[in-house]
Amino acid sequence: MTSSLKFMLVALSVGVAATATVSHAKNAKHAAAASCPPGLAKKNPPCVPPGQAKKYIGTPEHRKYRIGDRIDDDYFWIESPGRYGLRKGSYVRAGDYVYRVNRETREVLNLIGAVIDVLD
């Protein structure tokens, strides 16, 4: 066999295998979950074990608010910041973090730290 014929046969077999895999899944959701173990295919996020998902959520990259963002929901005002060693200003607790914010616009001015470090 010539080398070009061998190449064409290999390319054809790879194309057929890829088509069979995609056509086996009924839609894109099933195609993404086709390589997942059965117990993880329906999880959210899919194909991520629960322990790994919790580790990702706890990382600093997952913080909901950054400097310049506006805090609109799920926050509590910290009424006496001096009591916790914070300087004069307006502070809110959102999730597990404390932020210094503009009181009128609720724009984040600074990330103070984790609640456990600040409010204890």
pLDDT in tens, 6-65: 555 555 565 545 454 445 445 555 545 567 777 776 666 667 776 666 555 555 545 578
pLDDT score at 9:
52
Please check whether residue 34 lies inside any domain of the structure. Answer: no
Whether 90 is covered by a domain: the verdict is: yes
Q: 82 in a domain, yes or no? A: yes
- Which domain covers residue 79, as residue numbers? 65-120
Q: How far apart, in Å, are the Cα atoms of 46 and each of 27, 63, 94, 106?
A: 15, 21, 27, 34
Flag whether 35 is in a domain: no
User: For all residues of the chain together, what is the average pLDDT?
Assistant: 72
Q: Residue 100: in which H helix or E strand, if any?
A: strand 97-101
In a domain, 52, yes or no: no
pLDDT over threshold 90, residue 77: yes
Strands in 90-94's sheet, in edge-to-edge order, are 75-78, 90-94, 97-101, 108-114
Count: domains in the chain: 1
* Residue at 88 is within a domain: yes
Contact indicator for 88, 80 with CB cutoff of 8 Å: no
